[in-house]
Structure 1
């Protein structure tokens, strides 16, 4: 570590450099349980569009550490990665940070640890525990098997190593690309060129509603009356630019990644992944997805009680769901959650079903929700510099690993000393949400004084009866799974035996990014952001009169489920039942961020003011790996058949005038299992157009939202399969001659060798 005076001088100039990078993290697109709904039947069958990792580096351009990253690998010092339970080294350059936004359900411990270890190998002393923040878009449509805790791994049957490795590789690659971009730009800034960051926001009300209004109404009326919405409607964004040239945008907006329903089996980034593609393609329409130089990150805000299903929650019978419990009467007159579903923004528009790959309204609703966010981002991109707030000043990062599950003790504002609890999930958690209802006779809004089925008390006792301390600490939650007290065969809850979570603040001048380890509800997010802004003023972290920009981003770094207000916790709907560390969870985070992390930003060595934290253990080596079966072999299904042969050819001609919403081209090929090769940074399919000179140019890949791939195992015994590739021809597609190319890999029996192949459809005409 350099002397404090060197760090101070580097940051005192006020100039900021940045670097942006993007990479592919698409894991296995078939035969893998999907992450988010925890539904055992939701196993993916194909790909709608690829998932990306987008990295944003911000730092002082004259950083004294930056030269180390240019040393030859042989001269670098390798840092040994500490084991779980050891002291957090809090390493990484303090006046530079990297924030990664990934098209995943959430950031979590094991992946983050693996990425940090790789960064230490590639760029020692530059990035580490302190200055790397990793957040997920909260898509519920990606492959699972990457979460550290056993409970969240249940539906994926443990770690899916192929997916875990793809996420790590892609995340590291995005950071390395951003680092290279940063180093180049920092040199130019030092030489006198200008790089700048600007903050802007917009109000977006139409893309979300509150799915737990009953809980929200438990908050004090005088507090609720301060706001004109029961959601955080702010679309907040940082714009990155060189001179007048826009290079990227990182935004935060609160909406769940549940536009695509639980019955969807096509891998995608849901509404935020699609919104990012929309923005990047709007800025660089001639570039293929994932290959743009302009990068758009769509991160989450206070996502906890949001839903994109803006049509509200309805019983399948057509009646409204019970307001408090989100239940509907079944044929026997019993109130159950299973038939209470949220309706998306296009629900009931039958004309849209023909364009849906699954025959439902969720796909058109996903596009609507994505477009609201993309439009807000493009609006901010188009504003004049004078209409935005410049981000200037020193760059800092602080992080503290907190043992929330070990009983973190602190004082409330009134002086009362309270503690957090070992992690536990309540009966309300098992009731699910209107985006994904639970099972059996569980319902939202079940506390420890409500009547309930005593059978489930027997079941929880058979698994692990919660301790008397846990029951008292978590009250009024009725504890169903005391995951913080379960460690066999490995940790059931987040953060190991002590429930260690990672809290973090990334600062760039007047921007303070609260990177939070869970899903804050609307009011919980408002409270912590307001308290943070007040504390920033009290500490004098900004010049008098300058208002801070406080942004919340999660779920990030450690997935510790939900964070509600204490009043919402008392309602014990899904969000309260999933606030695992007890009723004082939010107040604990407010205390940590305002009394420990923010004051540490006043010094050049923040670690001197932060109590030593410990690293949570990674359970990857201990975890089950039952959800990842190996591909045995592939067969074309006959002696005269070959991989890539076309089973169903496209029509010879498609007229856009006859199909104003776009025409569907579908081609079926003799296929092979896509898990043989994830084709990271590549594609399984191409739509090509013939040029005037007879050559073929790629115009669409599997990264576009207008294409999809579906894989079907036609014979498990023989090992034969079919791959269907579809392209929804956009209305503005230029007339011409096109074809579809399928790129696959098949596995040989006996030898197990994998060979590449391709198939090409007949040519077809797209007419105006």
Structure 2
């Protein structure tokens, strides 16, 4: 296992130990056994908590990656596996709740619709939150809306199945693991782990909101700890930063900095074995909050800051999140554990037609959202995290589309002008949706309560100031401190960005990607206020009309399967082709099968083994470890000598019928001894393994 050098940053901590005022059961007939402010200090009275973790890695070869929207960014190997980390909760009144944090680019309604029917009775769309960490280097093709399958050749049933099966597996494990636990909540600050990538838009906000974020970042890091018998067994962390340390030049499937944060803490605490299906001793999930304008690229250039190496940046930014959360967990016992009081509400809203009342619009007049429209800057991409492949789009303005919108679109529609101006419209999504489901319009807005913590579950990427307004809105209704109210972005579906109206007018990337117009945030504040009021008063809310199930539509019947792979003449699958080392980094290349024949979910494509006694080999690393990388390519390109730790940019998918896999392992601080690398693959006729000769690590 590679060594992990310590990295720290400024961390301040405070702890919260009692619920906010005025919450009640989701079922109005259910009694609230503790009442506001209750606290027991005993694990048994605090409630039941369960944890689960499972593999959700999809196709690691020849599948378009979701996030950057780059046509050439097709998966070509594996950096780190993707995980679903689930936490189930049950309070003394019998109410349930579940949060599942997924190493995915985005969460879609397609996944939610497939997962929920497979969960035990009592879990519904209202009390289950499926949320994505927003890695931009995961396989795509798992949406039922066409926009998100643009570089995948269509819908990808294998990736979709791996995600759904893994989430269900993690959720079932968490439910089965329910046991008495003590919960504590702590807040702190984490600096030097994020930067504001849209400062010009941020500066348009009112002075009091800018003063709340003096560095133009949201430094709050929040951790919810789970203890059993005085031992830390789980943690949920929320911190606002994009999961984009890995750039659009990377083609290895990767959980990025959020995934590394969980991996790092889990390995430090309990040395989790991800191939062991038994419940892990410790599970740490690093969830998103209002990260819409927060970049991990501290130099505001893709792949730069704090170093010029995207892999190292991933490790450093992930380590900073992990160590900040761990420091808070150490301080959390200073607070009494809180009684676990659960509550939940959800409503589905047609975001294209919300009538916003004057008290939320900011100008004292009623307004109305409109159909989804993508702005010109949304096609340019967020430059600090990497441009898109759409040529001719500028990150600041588009004179042609701007003039067309101002002179043609807006004069013809007063409603569009009020909702969307000054956006230079590049994609009238509302019109396209009438022909083919392009983006989701009926979107869920959710409010969860876990003791003192309130989570506003939104299917949007919310800027920090937009998030602050939402948090203040809910906090004022339920009587909570604003630090105890978090926006849980990227949850339950996806509807692109949400900015403040002031930021919207700047029409930078985030404003251009706020599909339903400048009144979108006020609309969400209005909806969140209604959910919070219902929760406070112990009454239900109208569920609204969910998005229809689109799984049966023709465009979701599956992408074309990958071309066949066969071994070269005179070779067999698994035959070793080369071996090389560079210091303590070793690499071996093998004749490969196509990884999509078997995704090896919950298993591994590679192992690193150490000889502990003559003839006895023990696994020390696999493809879920930071110390390993797997590169897959059709036809061999380049030298016979393998160059460890060099991205295979020249190895693009082509028409060749042969394939190779290169396994790399950084021995780091591994003890001296004899080791070997193995590649595990599958053909339609069965599995195979290729293994190197033993080699020495001094």
Confirm or deny a common fold (TM above 0.5): yes
Rounded Cα–Cα distance in structure 1 between residues aligned with 2:590 and 2:236: 39
Contact 1:208–1:306 (CA<8 Å) still a contact in 2? yes
SS across alignment from 1:368:
helix
**Match 2:691 to one of 750, 760, 767:** 760
**Match 2:391 to one of 392, 416, 440:** 440
Structure 1 residues 36 and 632: alpha-carbon distance in aligned structure 2, compared to 1, 3 A threshold: closer
**Match 1:611 to one of 542, 557, 572:** 542
Rounded Cα–Cα distance in structure 2 between residues aligned with 1:3 and 1:584: 29
Contact 1:471–1:478 (CA<8 Å) still a contact in 2? no
My pick for the range that moved more, 17-26 or 690-699, is 690-699
1:746 paired residue number: 683
2:368 paired residue number: 419
Shift of 1:548: 7.0
Rounded Cα–Cα distance in structure 2 between residues aligned with 1:259 and 1:3: 39
Task: Please say if 1:373 is aligned against 2:321.
Answer: yes
1:97 paired residue number: 97
Rounded Cα–Cα distance in structure 2 between residues aligned with 1:3 and 1:382: 32
Contact 1:157–1:624 (CA<8 Å) still a contact in 2? no
Rounded Cα–Cα distance in structure 2 between residues aligned with 1:726 and 1:619: 41
Task: Please say if 1:682 is aligned against 2:682.
Answer: no
Rounded Cα–Cα distance in structure 2 between residues aligned with 1:3 and 1:709: 47
Q: Deviations over 1:179-211 (max 9, x none)?
A: 0001xx1xxx4xxxxx11111122111111000
SS across alignment from 1:649:
strand
Q: Deviations over 1:340-360 (max 9, x none)?
A: x5623102xxxxxxxxxxxxx
Rounded Cα–Cα distance in structure 1 between residues aligned with 2:28 and 2:161: 40
Shift of 1:10: 6.0
SS across alignment from 2:555:
coil
Shift of 1:586: 0.9
1:698 paired residue number: 619
2:3 paired residue number: none
1:253 paired residue number: 239
Q: Deviations over 1:110-164 (max 9, x none)?
A: 1111111222xxx23x111111111100100100112232223222243211111
Contact 1:399–1:504 (CA<8 Å) still a contact in 2? yes
Contact 1:650–1:764 (CA<8 Å) still a contact in 2? no
Task: Please say if 1:276 is aligned against 2:276.
Answer: no
Q: Deviations over 1:235-270 (max 9, x none)?
A: 111001112111111001111111111110000111
User: What aligned pairs does 1:355-434 form with structure 2 within 5 A after superposition?
Assistant: 361-383=309-331, 385-386=333-334, 388=335, 390-413=337-360, 415-434=364-383
Shift of 1:620: 2.9
Shift of 1:5: 7.9
2:424 paired residue number: 478
Structure 1 residues 37 and 147: alpha-carbon distance in aligned structure 2, compared to 1, 3 A threshold: same
SS across alignment from 2:352:
helix
2:673 paired residue number: 736
Rounded Cα–Cα distance in structure 1 between residues aligned with 2:588 and 2:413: 58
Structure 1 residues 577 and 5: alpha-carbon distance in aligned structure 2, compared to 1, 3 A threshold: closer
The CA RMSD measured in Å over matched residues stands at 2.7
Shift of 1:603: 5.2
1:174 paired residue number: 170
Task: Please say if 1:47 is aligned against 2:70.
Answer: no
Structure 1 residues 407 and 681: alpha-carbon distance in aligned structure 2, compared to 1, 3 A threshold: same
Shift of 1:442: 1.7
Shift of 1:378: 1.9
Rounded Cα–Cα distance in structure 1 between residues aligned with 2:329 and 2:451: 21
Shift of 1:457: 7.4
Structure 1 residues 396 and 684: alpha-carbon distance in aligned structure 2, compared to 1, 3 A threshold: same
2:30 paired residue number: 7
Contact 1:210–1:230 (CA<8 Å) still a contact in 2? yes
2:185 paired residue number: 199
The count of aligned residue pairs is 642
Shift of 1:547: 7.8
Contact 2:223–2:329 (CA<8 Å) still a contact in 1? no
Q: Deviations over 1:713-733 (max 9, x none)?
A: 118777321111010112x21
Q: Deviations over 1:469-488 (max 9, x none)?
A: 43442111121111122225
Shift of 1:702: 0.3
Q: Deviations over 1:397-427 (max 9, x none)?
A: 1111111112344333465211111111111
Structure 1 residues 233 and 399: alpha-carbon distance in aligned structure 2, compared to 1, 3 A threshold: same
2:571 paired residue number: 641
**Match 2:128 to one of 128, 132, 140:** 132
Rounded Cα–Cα distance in structure 1 between residues aligned with 2:344 and 2:655: 55
For structure 2, list consecutive stretches of 5 or more residues without a partner in the other structure: 1-24, 39-44, 637-653
Contact 2:376–2:401 (CA<8 Å) still a contact in 1? no
Q: Deviations over 1:315-347 (max 9, x none)?
A: xxxxxxxxxxxxxxxxxxxxxxxxxx5623102
